[in-house]
Structure 1
Amino acid sequence: MTQILEQTFLGLSLYAYLRLVLIILFAWLLKGVLSKILARLAYRLFRNTSGEQYYERFSAHINKPFGNLLFTIFAYIGINQIAPLLERVWLFKRGSAALATDTKNMIAVKAFTLMDLTDRIFFFIIIFTATGLLVKVISFIFRMLTDKAVKNGDRERQQLLPLLRDVLRVVIWAFMFFVILGVVFQVNVATLIAGLGMGGIAVAFALKDSLENLLSSFMILLDKPFVIGDLIKIDGVEGNVEKIGFRSTHIRTPEKTLVSLPNRNLISNSLENFSERGARRVRMVVGATYGLSKTQLNTIVEQISSRIQQHPDIVEKPNVFLESFGDSAINISVAYFVKTQSATPFDKIKEQINYEIYEIMYRYGAGFPYPTQAQVNTQEINNVLTDQAS
């Protein structure tokens, strides 16, 4: 067996090819197990602050990129077992020999081999995968901090943390881009950055809208016209703020639709923040049947006012009074204010009060009138011709 493995093929012993296969096979079979073990070890860094409740989420975040990174590293180690063979395969030459006797004027000839290409491909994959893993870990950290802010009721942190997370992601991927340019493509990054003068201006113009939205997000954080959870209305869109990103803000409407508005629109347009006023006004007209006595109408008005005032989510005294006489009903005006920070949804509070009004109208009155029309047979009055004759 040993004699067979010592035989050569394309200038390498079969030992080298066997090591390549075994290393890649080992990495493929054990990458899942190794990634879980390393994920458990890495999670110990956060266990003191997060306990075990976040382990499943942390494991789901990093297992796949961790496994891919481990497999790529082992695969690169395996490929290096046949590096001498790959070095002999020239893809192209860089430079040419000058016909001069002076060695200072000689241009070195360097071949770009298959091993060079393999190195760059693996470096690219390793850097890209490691960056993705780092971003996943940072996202997990910010998720823990955001959950803690929600638990403590710190709405300013709920607003700030997602934006910082997004900015940090952009910085990390931008840094990764320049690292790849330097390591993989052999670009002089310092010279490249120094030469971005006019190019940077052109890029700034191309990214004008994105930069404007980014600056607007910082203006929102500084000026604080609203925070996450506030009920706002802008450009005809009304809903609760769910997320303030670095380009847009997400608003959840009462219909549960998620609307994404550019941050610059939130800065440049008029915005109503219903949460800042502490209460939300409800105004309606209740119709009572004609023929009720003054005492009955007065009782209905007092009962509606009393029932509304007893509700725990109502602020101030409601304004209930007989407003006008309609075509088919006596109109009773009802107005009251509902707390915006109530644990009960606004529509549910309105429903509860409407049930109370419904019961009152049937208990102390005659229910609600139906729109009716009566036909009266009478002679048409026409005095126009009479006036002309006289």
Structure 2
Amino acid sequence: MDFPWLYEEVLGNPVKSWLAAGAAFAAFLSAGFFLKRVVLGRLRALAERTDTGLDDAFVRALAAVRGWELAFVALALAARSLYVPPAVDRALHVGLVLVASFRAAAFLQEVMNYLWRSATAEVVEGDPTSRSALRNVEYVLSALVWLGAVLFVLDNLGVNITTAVAGLGIGGIAVAMAAQQILGDLFSSFVIFMDKPFRVGDTISVDGLAGTVENVGLKTTHVRSVSGEMLVFSNSDLTRSRLKNFKQLTERRGVIAFSVPFDTPRAKLALVPGLVNAAFQGKTAARFDRAHYTGFSPSGHQFEAVWFAVSEDLTVFMNLQQAVHLDLLDSLEREKISLAYPTQTVNLSK
């Protein structure tokens, strides 16, 4: 049976060609959805029964394919059997390259991120600073993947990649000179990761500003000050500065300095170092070092005692210091030894 209408041209193509293209579009689209829903579901079930996470990364990357992407690929493939205007053919080609490049880059990024995280899992475990720095490296690697995808698209669109790469080299030099500070901060973030002068959670002091490190980023480090506000330091400033890391303290040193009046008897003066030593007895978190009569001050006889709190915690140190001061005051009162006032006596003669 002959159907003459099948040979009638519509938009430059016989009807039968349109029907064949429509059937091809339906077949490609059905195959895509079959693979996405049925085959991918079985792959997911198999991946859940394995111990490795690489197959899970593959499944996640494949599951991210959208329905409109499948539809566009099916349309572009089906349209190859038709005559279409050059502008339409060019648009389909560009769209197909963009969709394929985007999905390939996303797939590669997902797999690469899994491999990177698996390789660095032991490093970042329990170390927020390493986690932050390695996350920054992950960002850089992802940027390189997408840069490669962009160059691939440009190459398929007829752009001279050699010229583009040369332009990127020259432009890169200009950008590097203009963004020297930013690149310095980026490099410093890796220096902080490698050298580890501090970690997230450490209490540090930089140029008289103290606080707890909350995040180490690509460009800046965020420090929560003791009074509550957020301090933001550029990473290059931190690597150039002399900073104090209180988290790495094993002991805190304390000094007790006081004076007793000049009219205190010598026998009483000799008791004072022993009274200071006795004030530390029973305090297991404190280590007494020494107590001495150091000489004369404008207001009386000067004494100095040195001790250590066997803890990096400032609260523990302050509690010990308070307890020692109160016990020392009690001992001085029992011995009827008073503390000197910061006064001077001036004798005037007629």
TM-score over 0.5 (shorter chain): yes
SS at match of 2:197: coil
1:307–1:359 Cα change, 3 Å: closer
Partner of 2:26: 17
SS at match of 2:52: helix
Q: CA deviation at 1:70?
A: 2.0
Q: CA deviation at 1:126?
A: 0.9
Q: TM-score, normalised by structure 1?
A: 0.57
1:200–1:14 Cα change, 3 Å: closer
Partner Cα separation in structure 2 for residue 144 and residue 231 of structure 1: 25
Q: TM-score, normalised by structure 2?
A: 0.62
Partner of 1:236: 208
Partner of 1:3: none
Q: CA deviation at 1:208?
A: 0.9
Contact kept in structure 1, 2:132 and 2:215, CA below 8 Å? yes
1:217-366 to structure 2, matched below 5 A, reads: 217=189, 224=195, 226-228=197-199, 231-239=203-211, 245-251=217-223, 253-254=225-226, 259-273=231-245, 279-283=251-255, 302-308=274-280, 311-314=283-286, 317-319=289-291, 335-339=306-310, 342=311, 345-358=313-326, 361-362=329-330, 365=333
Partner of 2:99: 122
Partner of 1:101: none
1:319–1:359 Cα change, 3 Å: closer
Partner Cα separation in structure 2 for residue 134 and residue 315 of structure 1: 55
The residue type paired with residue 123 of structure 1 is A
Partner of 1:4: none
Partner of 2:52: 44
SS at match of 2:89: strand
Partner Cα separation in structure 2 for residue 188 and residue 362 of structure 1: 88
The residue type paired with residue 52 of structure 2 is R
Of the candidates 123, 138, 160, which is equivalent to residue 146 of structure 1?
A: 123
Partner of 2:146: 176
Q: CA deviation at 1:112?
A: 0.9
Contact kept in structure 1, 2:206 and 2:244, CA below 8 Å? yes
The residue type paired with residue 152 of structure 2 is G
Partner Cα separation in structure 1 for residue 215 and residue 268 of structure 2: 51
Alignment deviations for residues 87-106 of structure 1 (CA, whole Å, 9 cap, x no partner)? 5585753xxxxxxxxxxxxx
Unaligned runs of 5+ in 1: 1-6, 47-57, 94-109, 151-157, 370-386
1:227–1:91 Cα change, 3 Å: farther
Unaligned runs of 5+ in 2: 1-14, 339-349
1:316–1:297 Cα change, 3 Å: closer
Alignment deviations for residues 11-50 of structure 1 (CA, whole Å, 9 cap, x no partner)? 255685387368548847997x67864764675269xxxx
SS at match of 1:232: strand
Percent identity between matched residues is 18
Q: CA deviation at 1:170?
A: 0.6
SS at match of 1:238: strand
SS at match of 2:233: strand
Partner of 2:11: none
Which range moved further: 349-358 or 206-215?
349-358
Q: How many residues align?
A: 321
The residue type paired with residue 119 of structure 1 is L
Partner of 1:373: none
Q: Let me know the Cα RMSD of the aligned residues.
A: 5.4
1:178–1:132 Cα change, 3 Å: closer
